[in-house]
Amino acid sequence: VLDWLVIGGGIHGTCISRFLTAANIADGETLRVLDPHPEPLRLWNRFGTACGMAYLRSPSVHHLDVDPYALDRFAESSWPEGAEPPFRPPKDRPAFSLFRAHCDRVIRERGLESLRIRGRALALRNGGNHIVAETDAGDFRARNAVLATGSGERPRWPRWARQLREAGAPISHVFDPDFSRERFSEPKPIAVVGGGMTGAQLAAALVAENRGPVTLIADHPLKTSPFDFDPCWLGPKCFGRRPGESADGWEARVRAARRDGTVTPDVADRLRTDLREGRLAIMDGQVRSGEFRNSETRLTGGFSPLGEVGASSGRKIERFVAEGPIILATGFDSRVIGGRFLETAMAEFDLKTTPEGRPRLNRDIRWGPGIWTTGVLAETALGPQARNIVGARHAARAIVATAESE
Ligand SMILES: Cc1cc2nc3c(=O)[nH]c(=O)nc-3n(C[C@H](O)[C@H](O)[C@H](O)COP(=O)(O)OP(=O)(O)OC[C@H]3O[C@@H](n4cnc5c(N)ncnc54)[C@H](O)[C@@H]3O)c2cc1C
């Protein structure tokens, strides 16, 4: 029987395995990380590459290793002179390539790869004094299971987009397993749907690579914010229940502190330049339906062409005709709990949810006896930063602190 089985080997699962081994709570005998991919962080690396992410949004102190300054030191000692700047303001946001190189180093030097089992958890069963994870690589028994399954396997396909795909329209999602910008080698007009950070970076990358005239369709006139949650939550001023605050009130405050769908100021500047120089068009509007006929896709919804990032032109057109491929950058399924695996775990252990469909957690990030959460699953305990890299660090620290004290 293992002490710890971490289910999911993305940023969260890998970070937790690093913290548990660094604190000597677990080692190569007592801990395993279960993940279906051939190497750690497969989805993270794929998504960042697919959308052309040049720099992270989070600061240099948010990464996989325990010492917050490990990435700064790695950049000083290992980043080649003359390479792209390792960090960009504000708060020293690392280059994606630097962050990846640092992850690779931590995984290699700390032996995290050898903790991995390749497989997918299908169900969790109650074995009395331990948990049984039924997986496609056999059964595993553990006293503790950490649910680090993320949302990465569930890209969001709006209904109109699914209908277009069924009708044979050239539509894909930037988070599809086989997505690559290289696929768009003929210079044809490209429409990107989604006005958040992923869509904005993708549109800018397609423009920079001259892949064709690009139109970005955003359901708001592009909102700017350095981070995707209110950073006040990283400190005690915002974090923590207020005196007399109900569970519902706290959850509402957590939700309101997310800044999803916003774009960093540097990426907004790039779009601004591309727009001014006529290499990019931006339509403010929400697609309601689509029709694919004679190799054209008509998107209906009411769109207002932007004359300037952040400001609507006031003009309105009902229909947008896409003459080439459409790429969705519509994020992930917004349901916090998705997929059969979590559903079976909930039924077996009688795990409760809030009216909003989030795990109803115990006093910490435990959902049931020995069942720990991280990422979006832990949002009601860890706040709006739960799904970010810093959320993985907070979850890992919480697990270590409890394991040391119990
Ligand atoms: C393009 C992009 C850029 C981002 N940039 C930043 C940033 O700059 N800073 C920041 O803080 N955050 C950022 N984020 C947000 C967040 O940090 C990432 O989404 C992060 O990858 C989430 O990690 P995760 O481990 O929770 O999920 P995932 O990356 O989805 O990993 C979960 C893993 O669990 C596996 N899994 C799922 N189900 C099972 C199962 N049943 N059994 C076994 N394994 C399973 C999956 O296959 C996957 O490998 C970004 C997100 C995206 C999409």
| Ligand 1 in reach of 341 Cβ (< 6 A) | yes
Q: Rounded distance, CA 201 to CA 182, Å? A: 15
Counting from 1 in the atom list of ligand 1, the atom nearest the Cα of 57 is 8
| Ligand 1 in reach of 173 Cβ (< 6 A) | no
| Ligand 1 in reach of 201 Cβ (< 6 A) | no
| Ligand 1 in reach of 196 Cβ (< 6 A) | no
Per-residue pLDDT tens listing for the chain (406 residues): 999 999 999 999 999 999 999 999 999 999 999 999 999 999 999 999 999 999 999 999 999 999 999 999 999 999 998 889 999 999 999 999 999 999 999 999 999 999 999 999 999 999 999 999 999 999 999 999 999 999 999 999 999 999 999 999 999 999 999 999 999 998 889 999 999 999 999 999 999 999 999 999 998 888 999 999 999 999 999 998 889 999 889 999 999 999 999 999 999 999 999 999 999 999 999 999 999 998 899 999 999 998 776 666 678 899 999 999 999 999 999 888 888 999 999 999 999 999 889 999 977 999 999 999 999 999 999 999 999 999 999 999 999 999 999 8
- Distance (angstroms) between ligand 1 centre and the Cα of 310 equals 29
- Distance (angstroms) between ligand 1 centre and the Cα of 339 equals 15
- For residue 310, the model assigns a pLDDT of 66
Tokens matching residue 225: 């914010």
| Ligand 1 in reach of 267 Cβ (< 6 A) | no
| Ligand 1 in reach of 148 Cβ (< 6 A) | yes
| Ligand 1 in reach of 59 Cβ (< 6 A) | no
- Distance (angstroms) between ligand 1 centre and the Cα of 353 equals 22
User: What is the residue whose two structure tokens read 């801990």?
Assistant: 31
Counting from 1 in the atom list of ligand 1, the atom nearest the Cα of 43 is 29
- For residue 186, the model assigns a pLDDT of 86
CA-proximal residue: ligand 1, atom 17 (nearest): 388
| Ligand 1 in reach of 12 Cβ (< 6 A) | yes
Sign of CA dihedral 331, 209, 165, 41: negative
| Ligand 1 in reach of 153 Cβ (< 6 A) | yes
User: What is the residue whose two structure tokens read 């359901």?
Assistant: 219
- Distance (angstroms) between ligand 1 centre and the Cα of 159 equals 24
| Ligand 1 in reach of 13 Cβ (< 6 A) | yes
CA-proximal residue: ligand 1, atom 16 (nearest): 388
Sign of CA dihedral 106, 108, 114, 117: positive
Mutation choice for ligand 1 from 5, 6, 12, 176, CB with most ligand atoms inside 8 A: 12
Counting from 1 in the atom list of ligand 1, the atom nearest the Cα of 122 is 41
Q: Is the pTM of this model over 0.85?
A: yes
| Ligand 1 in reach of 396 Cβ (< 6 A) | no
- Distance (angstroms) between ligand 1 centre and the Cα of 12 equals 7
| Ligand 1 in reach of 100 Cβ (< 6 A) | no
- For residue 363, the model assigns a pLDDT of 73
- H or E, element range at 381: helix 379-382
- Distance (angstroms) between ligand 1 centre and the Cα of 7 equals 12
- For residue 241, the model assigns a pLDDT of 86
**Distances in whole angstroms, Cα of residue 21 to Cα of each of 10, 99, 366:** 17, 21, 20
- Distance (angstroms) between ligand 1 centre and the Cα of 79 equals 25
- Distance (angstroms) between ligand 1 centre and the Cα of 152 equals 5
| Ligand 1 in reach of 47 Cβ (< 6 A) | yes
Do residues 112 and 40 make contact, with C-beta atoms less than 8 angstroms apart?
yes
Phi, psi of 275 (to 5 degrees): -65, -45
| Ligand 1 in reach of 226 Cβ (< 6 A) | no
Q: Rounded distance, CA 102 to CA 74, Å? A: 7
Mutation choice for ligand 1 from 51, 234, 388, CB with most ligand atoms inside 8 A: 388
